[in-house]
């Protein structure tokens, strides 16, 4: 067993402790081992979800356009070239949204020290 020469009292609410116990049990770990592993080697990612609003709106709009094209195709038993061009344009716009909004998203990571090169 490693020599543990530092201790820290950490207080949990009953709900928090229940979650800690559930997470530890799911990994078949004792709670102390789970807490130590998460504290030392874990990673917490935080995202600003407001960055996804434009993406969600684009998905909804494209979904509505596809539904309209399907309704017309089902009722007339044909699809118009203009509708397909519009759909292609929408998908190209969606690709732009992915490139401009998803790729640049950076999470606010809390990494263990040795991932930063600090020892």
Spatial separation of the C-alpha atoms in residues 68 and 90, rounded to whole Å: 13
For 45-99, write each residue's pLDDT tens digit.
666 677 678 778 878 888 888 888 778 878 887 777 777 787 788 778 877 877 7
Spatial separation of the C-alpha atoms in residues 36 and 57, rounded to whole Å: 41
Q: Read off the pTM.
A: 0.40
Q: Running DSSP on this structure, what letter comes out for residue 99?
A: I
Spatial separation of the C-alpha atoms in residues 26 and 14, rounded to whole Å: 18
Ranges of H-type helices in 42-109: 53-76, 81-97
pLDDT at 27 over 50: yes
């Amino acid at each position: 067993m490693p020599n543990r020469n530092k201790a820290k009292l950490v207080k949990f609410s009953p709900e928090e402790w229940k979650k800690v116990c559930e997470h530890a049990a799911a990994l078949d770990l004792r709670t102390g081992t789970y807490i130590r592993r998460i504290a030392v080697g874990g990673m917490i990612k935080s995202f600003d979800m407001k960055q996804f609003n434009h993406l969600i709106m684009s998905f909804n709009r494209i979904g509505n356009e596809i539904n309209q094209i399907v309704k017309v195709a089902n009722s007339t038993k044909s699809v118009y070239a203009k509708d397909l061009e519009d759909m292609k344009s929408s998908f190209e716009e969606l690709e732009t949204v992915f490139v401009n909004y998803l790729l640049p998203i950076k999470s606010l990571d809390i990494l263990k020290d040795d991932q930063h090169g600090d020892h």
